[in-house]
Amino acid sequence: MTATDHPLLQGELRLAGRLDERFFDLLAALSLTCSLQKAARAAGYSYKGAWLVLDAAAALANEPLVDSATGGAGGGGSRLTPAGSALLTAWRELQGRHRAFLRAQEAWLATRPELHQLLKTTAMKTTARNQFSGHISAVRPGPSTWQVRLALPGGDPEISASLTAEAAEELAVSVGQQALALVKASEVVLVSDFAGYRLSARNQLAGTVARIERGVVSSLVGLTLPGGTTVTASVTNDAVDGLALTVGQPATACFKAYAVMLAVRG
């Protein structure tokens, strides 16, 4: 995440009190892959869970959002119905309006310098695109380097960090402490096939490609872990093409423990 991804004001957008960003990630992935199985993995759902949430949404909308066909001459697959496509389009428009609303409120807040400064002290901004929030589950001190593990909510794999003994003592790291693990997107390597090899990187997080934002030279690839956490990697466009990365494809985000910066409240 970039610094601008963490404004002073944040708010969650939901439709009908239940349809959130994760649900619309499912619809977006489905529109790209035409496969509910791939779309479910990309949005962090089980296959059954995806069907349940789509059925619940269809009940709210009073008409099907997804049309599924079995295999045959025309092939099988799942596709958004016109109602599903319209709902996804409306969500994207609402997201833009929602962001504009929050920006307007933050502009108003900026006219209240005493309150703005007070709230700014509670918001951390950083250029590290990946910010994992959790609690320290294990600490292993060493003569020069300490190994620290951060447990993430939702049952996702833990994050391992290597700190110098001096840094660990200054932070006073301890089991149960709330912390943030910060990882630059450029430090994340994506692996789609290990070909029988094992990597030395301590952090290897298996998930599903949820989005690919292609730039002029490089792309940002978002990987959704089974518990819903997203890991973002910055890779060259040549690498994206070489791996033939597509939404819904399984992949593993790998990064070394020393690439993790740990942050705790002072």
CATH number of residue 245's parent domain = 2.40.50.100
- Residue 37 belongs to domain with CATH number: 1.10.10.10
**Statement: the pTM of the whole predicted model exceeds 0.75:** no
Q: Give yes or no for residue 73 having a pLDDT over 50.
A: no
Token pair 């990697």 in the structure block, residue: 233
What percent of the chain shows pLDDT beyond 90?
Answer: 57
Does 14 fall in a domain?
no
Q: What angle do CA 238, 244, 248 make, to 5 degrees?
A: 130
Q: What is the average pLDDT across 100-109? A: 85
Q: Is residue 154 domain-shared with residue 209, that is, in the same domain?
A: no
Q: What is the average pLDDT across 251-263? A: 95
Q: Give yes or no for residue 178 having a pLDDT over 80.
A: yes
What pLDDT was estimated at residue 168? 93
Q: Give yes or no for residue 2 having a pLDDT over 90.
A: no
Distance CA 160, CA 212 (A): 26
Q: Is residue 92 domain-shared with residue 51, that is, in the same domain?
A: yes
Distance CA 88, CA 28 (A): 7
Does 206 fall in a domain?
yes
Distance CA 179, CA 138 (A): 12
Q: Give yes or no for residue 252 having a pLDDT over 90.
A: yes
What pLDDT was estimated at residue 14? 87
Does 118 fall in a domain?
no
The pairing of beta strand 189-191 with beta strand 66-69: unpaired
pLDDT tier at 72 (50, 70, 90 boundaries)?
A: very low
Q: Is residue 27 domain-shared with residue 94, that is, in the same domain?
A: yes
Q: Is residue 154 domain-shared with residue 231, that is, in the same domain?
A: no
Q: Is residue 82 domain-shared with residue 142, that is, in the same domain?
A: no
Does 245 fall in a domain?
yes
What pLDDT was estimated at residue 240? 92
Q: What is the average pLDDT across 110-120? A: 66
* In the chain, beta strands by DSSP E: 66-69, 77-80, 130-140, 145-151, 159-164, 178-183, 189-191, 203-214, 218-224, 230-236, 250-255, 261-264
Does 147 fall in a domain?
yes
Q: Is residue 232 domain-shared with residue 157, that is, in the same domain?
A: no
- Top pLDDT among 128 and 186 is at 186
Does 2 fall in a domain?
no
Q: Is residue 25 domain-shared with residue 95, that is, in the same domain?
A: yes
Q: Is residue 33 domain-shared with residue 93, that is, in the same domain?
A: yes
Residues in the chain: 266
pLDDT digits (tens, 9 = 90+) for 119-162: 554 556 667 889 898 899 999 999 999 999 999 987 888 999 99
Structure token pair of residue 185: 């997107």
Q: What domain range is 218 assigned to?
A: 185-255
Q: Give yes or no for residue 80 having a pLDDT over 50.
A: yes
Domain boundary among 79, 110, 141: 110
Q: Is residue 173 domain-shared with residue 232, that is, in the same domain?
A: no
What pLDDT was estimated at residue 77? 84
Q: Give yes or no for residue 118 having a pLDDT over 60.
A: no
Number of structural domains (the chain) is 3
Contact 66/30 with Cβ under 8 angstroms? Answer: yes
Mean pLDDT of the chain, nearest integer = 86
Does 125 fall in a domain?
no
Does 148 fall in a domain?
yes
- Pick the closest to residue 79 from 19, 32, 25, 20 (CA basis): 32
Q: Give yes or no for residue 173 having a pLDDT over 60.
A: yes
Q: Is residue 210 domain-shared with residue 137, that is, in the same domain?
A: no
